[in-house]
Structure 1
Amino acid sequence: MSMPLLPGERTRLGRYELLGRLGEGGMGTVYLGRDRDGRKVAIKMVRPEFSYDAEFRGRFRSEVNRARQVPPFSTAEVLDADPDHDPPYLVVEYVDGPNLAAVVREQGPLSPSALHGVAVGIATALSAIHGAGVIHRDLKPANVLFAMGGIKVIDFGIARAFEATSQHTRTDQIVGTVGYMAPERFEPGNGRQVTSAADIFAWGVVVAYAATGRTPFAADSAPGTAMRILTQPPDLSGLTGPLRELVEWALAKDPDERPTARALLDALLDGSTPPAGTTAVITPAALTARDGGQVATGGPGAAQGAARPENRRRSRLLSVGAAVVTLVVLLGAGLVTLNALDPSGREAGGSPVTSAPTSPSPTNARTTTPVASDPDTAILQGTRRTLIHIAEIDRDLALDLHDFQVEASDGTGAKSQFVLVPMGVDYLIRSLRGDGRADDQETCLGVKILLEGPSTLVAAACQPTQATIFSLDRTGDRDDKNRPTYYIYNDTHGFVQWSTSRRTVIVEQVGDATPSSTFSLVDRGAL
């Protein structure tokens, strides 16, 4: 049901008549409208401050075009949009029905049969959304509507235009409703690209909320809820049977361990739990190829390389402490743009809390070096310059300034200095060869596939892809200066190693063998 327009509000937007208000949030106001044929529509008018941002308009246009590819059988169909209007707006199918949040608030948790229907309906919608290459990014009960004929999911995909616009949302800010956010969105750096696995996590929270009337990580505050998402198992008391097993799977901390929307849907329809190994996610856009070879990439649904499980577990355990510390700092400083939840799972207030923009560098959000007994802690949190020392040959990685290849050097000069940019439990390795000047494009290390011979390390764009994400796994040993040593590993292409025969740095899988090269981190001061 719509509310009356406020005094002084416009009565037309483009070619649409505005009849009333349906709601308001951090991104804009939603109106009930009518087109020239008399059909009722829902119109989201973007907040005026976005109107003057060319970057936002471009992203908004792109995301609308993608959202139009989503089949409308379980979603509110995207009908029209005008990114160039002042202010921009989006028009979608008007669904005349209550949302899930209102139903649970007024009538209590759903009955088992109604709950199963909601779970199926949302999984069906996510299958269609993900199948079109779109990620929802803001799935929550308020975006799940009860319509004639079934469930409709609204507001899919468009959040990326807001989330990725650098003028308004930096890498040290988050957009969304905290109780439904996947843990990877809170991890150090906040620069990790959202994948479809985040929607699966939100599906699990929404279904648990529909079953119990509360979210499974509910706390008295947004920081408390976020901490529970990061560190605690979900509270699923009151949810039983196969659906509980599916929700537990969807709420896995590791996004790679969650099922796909299609796997969820199949399991819901046949009443079973999906078999292991069916996970797959929509990944960010691939890196472009460089001269002389192909930079490894990962596109939508790309298969993940076989990681060493013992190393991955060790890396995640080492990193969760850093994630919690960074989260507390960000939330305490007011650098997170969130909608909080009260303990019942309802959103507190209609608009997110925002903060003044800061520098877009992924590392600038953490300017205070933490006090810790481990000397590598600050380096691993991205607040310190580091040399990456090859322990076996007493040399350091360096990005050559001429051919953009990684070589072994004496550790002098900016070409040997890097900063580890946390991306969840893994890292981008950003080169400081440009000394951070404003006119220098940020450059990271990436894997380059050669037609002959093993892969090598080269300069690459600082975007998280299968080519540029590395894990640092503790070996348990120390180098000749008593510094902890690590294996550097890329999930798809293998271990970074020094090849004695080739006299160069390579990346290769080693099977059951022990990698020949270990690396230590040498502190070179604050950024």
Structure 2
Amino acid sequence: MLRSRTPVLLATAVAVALTSQACSTDTSPAPTAPGSAPVTTTTGAAETTATAETTATAGTTVDATEPASPGDDDAEQAPPATRTPTAGATSRPAAASAGAILDGRRQVVIKPVESSESIVVIDDAGRLTLTDGPTDSGLFVLTPSGNRHLIKTARAGAGGEPSCLGLKTNGSSSLTVEAAPCDAGRAGQLFSIQRQNGQEAGGRPVYSLSSGGAYLRVSGQGGLIAEELGDSAATGFTFVDNGAATLPQLGD
């Protein structure tokens, strides 16, 4: 009886094993969720190929580039360039013509050619001298009077009027120049301004200044005197433009 059942049990076991093997090699594709990427599996191959959809939903394109967060933009964005002023913002305006200076329309610094660091100023005593330091009394206006000029201070004094340069006698000593109330009828205040043979210094014309035959020149002591020409040559001066004159013009 036992011998007759043994073949039957063996056949049953073999059938169960074959059924299990068939289930494990099922190649039917697994169901996919709606909207997911379809997956194709090749039986017996070592690779599987996945194809991603380019649209997640109808009419909507998925951008493959992931946008950076606002914080990343702030960290990576280069700062705006600082506008550097051009050369035209710090350039100096063109110098006024000699005609505008000699017409009394500009205020000028009077600079002796032989003393490159000094300018003509009026000291506390009212005398004309030189300085190479800061000053508020070194601007003048050359006002025509006939064929000569009054040399006026560019700023009015305490009485509301400018002063004029004029010669002063000092006995046997050399003439000096001092500031005094303007008076075109006083010969010592009228100066001849003559260009010196086309000479230039720093691109500016060079002039001599004289009144009544006495020429203004730098003395050996570094001051300014006026004397007739002898063995000493007249000092040359240039006029450095410092903007429009603010003194009232005749007839204003």
* TM-score interval (norm. to shorter): 0.5 to 0.7
| 8 Å contact kept, 2:201–2:238 | no
Query: Does residue 475 of structure 1 match 2:196?
Result: yes
What is the TM-score of this pair, normalised by structure 2? 0.55
Give CA-to-partner distance per residue, 1:334-359, whole Å, 9 cap, x none: xxxxxxxxxxxxxxxxxxxxxxxxxx
Cα distance change, pair 424–412 in 1 and its aligned pair in 2 (3 A): farther
* Equivalent residue number for residue 396 of structure 1: 119
* Equivalent residue number for residue 146 of structure 2: 424
Cα distance change, pair 408–438 in 1 and its aligned pair in 2 (3 A): closer
* Equivalent residue number for residue 180 of structure 2: 460
* Equivalent residue number for residue 503 of structure 1: 222
| 8 Å contact kept, 1:399–1:431 | no
Query: Does residue 448 of structure 1 match 2:168?
Result: yes
* Equivalent residue number for residue 524 of structure 1: 242
* Equivalent residue number for residue 381 of structure 1: 103
Q: Distance in 1 between matches of 2:157 and 2:224?
A: 27
Tell me which stretches of 4 or more aligned residues in structure 1 moved more than 4 Å: none
| 8 Å contact kept, 1:409–1:416 | no
SS in 2 for 1:416: coil
| 8 Å contact kept, 1:384–1:526 | yes
* Equivalent residue number for residue 80 of structure 2: none
User: Which structure is higher in strand share?
Assistant: 2
- Aligned AA (2:192): S
Q: Give unpaired runs (5+ residues) of structure 2.
A: 1-94, 246-252
State the 1:437 CA deviation.
6.5
Query: Does residue 484 of structure 1 match 2:205?
Result: yes
Q: May I ask how many residue pairs the two structures share in their alignment?
A: 150
Cα distance change, pair 476–458 in 1 and its aligned pair in 2 (3 A): same
- Aligned AA (1:386): V
SS in 1 for 2:100: helix
Q: Distance in 1 between matches of 2:202 and 2:133?
A: 15
Give CA-to-partner distance per residue, 1:51-92, whole Å, 9 cap, x none: xxxxxxxxxxxxxxxxxxxxxxxxxxxxxxxxxxxxxxxxxx
State the 1:451 CA deviation.
1.6
Q: Distance in 1 between matches of 2:232 and 2:147?
A: 22
State the 1:425 CA deviation.
1.0
RMSD between superposed Cα atoms in Å: 2.3
* Equivalent residue number for residue 207 of structure 1: none
| 8 Å contact kept, 1:387–1:418 | yes
Relative contact order higher in (CA < 8 Å, ≥ 6 apart):
2
Cα distance change, pair 461–389 in 1 and its aligned pair in 2 (3 A): same
SS in 1 for 2:188: coil
Give CA-to-partner distance per residue, 1:163-195, whole Å, 9 cap, x none: xxxxxxxxxxxxxxxxxxxxxxxxxxxxxxxxx
Q: Distance in 2 between matches of 1:444 and 1:423?
A: 13
Cα distance change, pair 374–474 in 1 and its aligned pair in 2 (3 A): farther
User: Which structure is higher in helix share?
Assistant: 1
| 8 Å contact kept, 1:444–1:468 | yes
Q: Distance in 2 between matches of 1:398 and 1:374?
A: 21
- Aligned AA (1:463): D
- Aligned AA (1:459): A
Q: Distance in 1 between matches of 2:122 and 2:229?
A: 24
State the 1:377 CA deviation.
1.1
* Equivalent residue number for residue 233 of structure 2: 515
Give CA-to-partner distance per residue, 1:417-476, whole Å, 9 cap, x none: 0001100110000012xx336743321101010023100011112002111000100002
Query: Does residue 413 of structure 1 match 2:135?
Result: yes
